[in-house]
């Protein structure tokens, strides 16, 4: 691996966890975020702040982009003081946001035109697993790029799924996964809400589900926290609302109309419309309970 600094643009929950992971490994990490408080957390842990994405990129041979959506990704790369123009030839951008495959492909093409490599690498697993290096990355990029940066990727994630050489396939894989995550979480919220309505203890019911055929990781993780009243934001409801909508758009382009995925996406969209967008997505249980009370 190169000894040059590594850059992370976007130090929200996942970006900060990756920055801390790299500092644990002794790497020189530069960070940039529009939120000074988030930058402060990274700096307190030993990272260095860059005033702009361009300044960060000028010092780093690899830049991880860990913002929310395609618009933010394009802005930090190609906007005013964007990273791309400041990067050296054969530098690399790791694209971690969950965005449409077409957006990933277009961004990678723009980077290639100026001699910068791109790794399509959506992430999954949450901040705790990103912090410990046990999140997953779904990686799509040319073989030579993967060979060069594999050690770094494997220091950030375990497992690193090598999806293939076609940029965009990481994004496609992530959208398929997240549509199922939305289905599982919406279903888990409805099931636990139903348990309460029929007089069962929600926590005891979840004990059974976790050891039975209804178990899902996201359902267990979110419902366990929701039952305990732990709704500290780790994954905002807006994220699965966005991701499920992107997955449905991808499906429509392929001539497919996922029935359960459509219902789950509508549930998340309704939760956002009800003002729960900035809440942790574990709050979906409370939202479903509210719907049940309004439709006795």
Is 8:18 a contact under the CB 8 Å cutoff?
Answer: yes
Judge if 162 and 204 occupy the same domain.
no
Contacts by 17-26 with C-beta closer than 8 Å and gap 24+?
17/127, 17/128, 17/130, 17/131, 18/64, 18/66, 18/130, 18/156, 19/45, 19/47, 20/45, 20/131, 21/130, 21/131, 21/132, 21/133, 21/155, 21/156, 22/155, 22/156, 23/47, 25/155
pLDDT for the residue numbered 3: 66
* Phi and psi torsions of 17, nearest 5°: -60, -40
Supply 106's token pair.
């277009």
Active site residue ranges: 174
pLDDT tens figures, 141-162: 999 999 999 999 999 999 999 9
Q: Domain with 209 in it: what CATH number?
A: 1.10.1040.10
Q: Count CB atoms within 10 A of the CB of residue 259.
A: 8
Segments of the chain scoring below 70 in pLDDT: 1-3, 296
Cα angle for residues 92, 97, 101 (degrees, 5° grid): 85
Contacts (Cβ under 8 Å, ≥6 apart) of 259 = none
Handedness of CA 250, 255, 261, 264 (dihedral sign): positive
Strands (E) in 246-296, as ranges, are none
Q: Give me the domain span that covers residue 30.
A: 6-167
Cis peptide before 159, with omega less than 30 degrees from 0? yes
pLDDT tens figures, 217-261: 999 999 999 999 999 888 899 999 999 999 999 999 999 999 999
Judge if 153 and 176 occupy the same domain.
no
pLDDT for the residue numbered 296: 59
Within a domain: residue 258?
Answer: yes
The model's pTM is 0.93
| Residue 232, SS3 per DSSP | coil
- Of 184, 222, 220, nearest in space to 205 by CA: 220
Q: Final residue of a domain: which of 167, 198, 221?
A: 167
pLDDT for the residue numbered 5: 93
Distance CA 290, CA 296 (A): 10
Judge if 154 and 68 occupy the same domain.
yes
Look at the chain and report how many structural domains it folds into.
2
Q: Domain with 65 in it: what CATH number?
A: 3.40.50.720
Name the maximum alpha-carbon separation found in the chain: 64
Judge if 70 and 132 occupy the same domain.
yes
pLDDT for the residue numbered 110: 98
Judge if 269 and 124 occupy the same domain.
no
């Amino acid at each position: 691996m190169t000894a040059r600094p590594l850059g992370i643009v976007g130090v929200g929950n996942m970006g900060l966890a990756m920055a801390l992971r790299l500092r644990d490994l002794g790497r020189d990490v530069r960070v940039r975020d529009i939120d000074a408080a988030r930058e402060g957390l990274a700096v307190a842990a030993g990272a260095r702040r860059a005033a702009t994405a361009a300044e960060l990129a000028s010092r780093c041979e690899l830049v991880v982009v860990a913002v929310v959506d395609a618009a933010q990704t394009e802005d930090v790369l190609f906007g005013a003081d964007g990273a791309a123009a400041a990067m050296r030839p054969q530098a690399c951008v790791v694209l971690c946001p969950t965005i449409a495959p077409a957006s990933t492909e277009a961004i990678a093409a723009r980077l290639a035109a100026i001699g910068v490599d791109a790794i399509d690498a959506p992430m999954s697993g949450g901040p705790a697993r990103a912090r410990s290096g046990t999140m997953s990355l779904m990686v799509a990029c040319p073989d030579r790029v993967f060979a060069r940066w594999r050690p770094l990727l494997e220091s950030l994630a375990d497992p690193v799924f090598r999806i293939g050489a076609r940029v965009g396939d990481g994004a496609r894989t992530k959208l398929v996964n997240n549509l199922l995550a939305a289905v599982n979480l919406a279903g888990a919220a409805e099931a636990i809400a139903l348990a309460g309505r029929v007089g069962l203890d929600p926590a005891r019911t979840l004990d059974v589900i976790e050891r039975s055929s209804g178990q899902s990781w996201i359902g267990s993780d979110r419902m366990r926290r929701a039952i305990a009243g732990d709704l500290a934001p780790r994954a905002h409801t807006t994220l699965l609302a966005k991701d499920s909508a992107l997955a449905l758009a991808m499906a429509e382009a392929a001539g497919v109309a996922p029935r359960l995925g459509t219902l789950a996406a509508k549930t998340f969209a309704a939760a956002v419309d009800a003002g729960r967008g900035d809440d942790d997505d574990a709050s979906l249980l409370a939202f479903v309970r509210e719907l049940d009370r309004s439709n006795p």
